[in-house]
Structure 1
């Protein structure tokens, strides 16, 4: 056998393994980029992992064919959303959790296909970041009213980019983070190309570096927008966390126990006030579902609430399930006055699909019998929730609504000086869900320049200042009452004033870039046909 023959069998497997590694490199990197995005979310203070996450995703997608980009994007979406949304299967098993993650990952896959399409354009990090915002905008609206959980902005409560929320809301904050990540990759790519070819195109390199530093510079410039001053004085607020008798979907089978827990903790707060241990609150906030017994129909529940409110002696917001004779249930917040009882209500406007109502019930039942735990659907309200509590205008966004830009902004444009996000996280046990939702409220505080109070049945309850810092917070599954003096504010941030305009501009940029690529490719095909 000749030397060439003896070397060939050794070289071929090595070449084959090398080709296999090359094939797996991008899919593996795409999945890893999604995992990095997940790790950047609370409760981990690793917000900066979004930057290498998007840099890695940029490497995967740049100049990729659309079909390949869709597959890579789907891997990234699964790497991100499967661990992020694991709490959705806490009590109903893996199937609903994995189905939700699989469907939502399709949005990320389509987004990544769009990013690959615009990645050959000059200044592609700008267009790519705009396409990401377009994808998040779509995911926040369809299907069933959208599911914005996992917007990149919601993982940035501790980041240097957070002031961008006051400048243009969650779309601008997310755009800045994604732009910085893509710019980081493009900068490295240009430098490596210089080392290989010896040529250094200064214009493209400068544009790449600018994509890294522009979002950071804009965030620093927006710092003065993050105000913490008391423009309208202060209010002393109490957030009551009564706790639940047991975890899981069946916690509300002991509805009277949940109500009694919150009434008892409010009465203890009244005793602490009388003893001088804590300040007298101006008003008290109970969580969502703190009374799953309808106080309008259940005399015992009404009596328990009324006694607790009379003891504390200030207006109290009660979270109740209202059960009309006909029609759908209402997830309602009730303003309860010590001497007059219930005087105002707010019905949750964005009820949660597959949690508070079941779309396509007969079809979904084929996959999970747990749908029948929601035996009667909740219906949405149609009025913005702002209560006047002892002279303070308090805006109300119930639990899931905090994820939707419009649901929080509406309360501020209707005069809210303070925002309350009453929630019930008992269904999700000790999962990361409560920390992810708390981070949303911190972003909302900066976005609208308002203190945000988060009373939760089982934790984590918190008092958040307008600059996004947490003044007080409770422990999970521990009865507590947080009492804090918070600043009241009435001025509007640019984000509040502009509403959906920044998102609309970024979406228009994305659509324009995609349209331009489609137009130029059409011209190229036409020229090719003519030449043929």
Structure 2
């Protein structure tokens, strides 16, 4: 058990190393392989014994990966990591049971994807940060993003790791089968290389010139509430400077301008006070630049005590129009689950940080792109980019370009910034669209459909990025295939698990056909005529 625990923890650390700030993507399949070997050692015990090694894999993975959650508080970082690590404990238990079946590497890999799918949607909307696909931007696996999406790429990485572990077990038990084991590994790794999908638009939909404004955050740079009026003024002034450059002929006029999430942290529709001043600053900048501006704003919701995080299209001479509302607010950061429960007041008295979220943020449901100056824009606000539903739905509905409005000021000096930018690169490849990132103080950038970073702005600076973007008018296969792969993997993993649980209750002949573990008789008596003979010892 001790060896399994140490191997599991080391495997989690390898998985973490695949992501920024280490960013060695080859460590991801190695981490999966180590986790499989750790639980395979326990296959002769009760399956529940694998939970602890699986939990250790999750902790070794997620605690370093999410170190930036410590900016919220060490308790939040540890609590979230333990909660999410428990999913890998459940995967480990399932993996031990699935190893009873033939072709178990397929079922164990499917269970890994099922684990990612479940923890990415539950509880409280889930948290998909740390999906294997999100570490593959500069690897051959990324060539498959436009074919089968993030789910398919995660499945391939998981399958590579599981097959690697299987190959080790096969070669150890049967040295003569090294060729077959190597062939299986090569086939999986080569799949995205021999079947790439060119998702780059052909130019038939035309181009649009887009400007992304990074206004920077006043004061220490990690608090968007430090000076709300100056925060908006920073973005207004940068936009007015862009307008002056256009008027002087120093740069072409943009077709649209994008401000980041939280470029106003007070309701710009207020009729008095700070909100009125902020709204006037936005109107001034929009009229100066003379083109639509997509503004990231915190807006009072119709329900009392609720707020909305929105991307709002401001048009010169018209004002505010279409809106995209953030689909995935952060639990305990942007809304408090169970706030209305009777026991909540006692809990909030113990955890003072909950007072920092006095109003709950409501989730949006928009799946249609925004029409911004005649350009169909798929919007994603901050963590939205890590979830499949919003981006892919808007692409399927005809979005021609992807825009990410983000406010990562709290995490500006942590790996979270680079992790999210890598996710955005993969979304660009998956959707076949250019991604324009407007960050409040970093990292803003322009990413091509091939994942190449065309432009970027340094963190903690004021900058305006301008790019002529080729618009896309067709959706790649990933838009349809990706979501269904997650559902299919979850369904197959559950069915295989039910079969594995039923296996001990099946007749001996059925166990011999379906199971991969050797059949052992409980008595020394010779087998009855026609009974199954003991299977060959092996993995």
TM above 0.5, one fold?
A: yes
How far apart in 2 are the matches of 1:479 and 1:174?
36
Among 361, 377, 382, the residue aligned to 1:378: 361
The TM-score, its normalising length taken from structure 1, stands at 0.89
Matched, 1:56 2:34: yes
Q: Alpha carbon RMSD of aligned pairs, Å?
A: 2.3
Q: Is the Cα contact below 8 Å between 2:29 and 2:160 reproduced in 1?
A: yes
Which residue of the partner structure matches residue 530 of structure 2? none
Q: Is the Cα contact below 8 Å between 1:45 and 1:158 reproduced in 2?
A: no
How far has the Cα of 1:217 moved from its partner?
2.2
Structure 2 counterparts to residues 9-408 of structure 1, below 5 A: 23-64=1-42, 65=45, 66-90=47-71, 92-195=72-175, 200-201=176-177, 206=180, 208-247=181-220, 250-297=223-270, 298-324=275-301, 326-327=303-304, 328-361=306-339, 362=344, 364-365=347-348, 367-408=350-391
The TM-score, its normalising length taken from structure 2, stands at 0.88
How far has the Cα of 1:281 moved from its partner?
1.4
Listed one character per residue, the Cα deviations across residues 20-42 of structure 1 (whole Å, up to 9, x for unaligned) are xxx53321111111111111012
CA change 1:174–1:256 in 2 (3 A) is same
CA change 1:222–1:268 in 2 (3 A) is farther
Listed one character per residue, the Cα deviations across residues 245-264 of structure 1 (whole Å, up to 9, x for unaligned) are 13577431411111011111
What 5-or-longer segments of structure 1 have no aligned partner? Answer: 1-22
Indicate the SS of the match to 1:224.
coil
Q: Is the Cα contact below 8 Å between 1:43 and 1:432 reproduced in 2?
A: yes
How far has the Cα of 1:239 moved from its partner?
0.7
CA change 1:480–1:182 in 2 (3 A) is same
Deviates more, 1:63-72 or 1:479-488: 63-72
Among 439, 458, 466, the residue aligned to 1:456: 439
Listed one character per residue, the Cα deviations across residues 135-167 of structure 1 (whole Å, up to 9, x for unaligned) are 111101111111111111111111110122211
In the alignment of these two chains, the number of paired residues is 501
How far has the Cα of 1:111 moved from its partner?
1.0
How far apart in 1 are the matches of 2:402 and 2:198?
18
How far has the Cα of 1:502 moved from its partner?
1.6
How far has the Cα of 1:508 moved from its partner?
2.4
How far has the Cα of 1:366 moved from its partner?
5.2
Listed one character per residue, the Cα deviations across residues 494-526 of structure 1 (whole Å, up to 9, x for unaligned) are 111335222222222212221221121222699
Deviates more, 1:444-453 or 1:186-195: 186-195
Q: Is the Cα contact below 8 Å between 2:412 and 2:442 reproduced in 1?
A: no
Indicate the SS of the match to 2:376.
strand
Q: Is the Cα contact below 8 Å between 1:161 and 1:215 reproduced in 2?
A: no
CA change 1:40–1:375 in 2 (3 A) is same
CA change 1:125–1:247 in 2 (3 A) is farther
How far has the Cα of 1:430 moved from its partner?
0.9
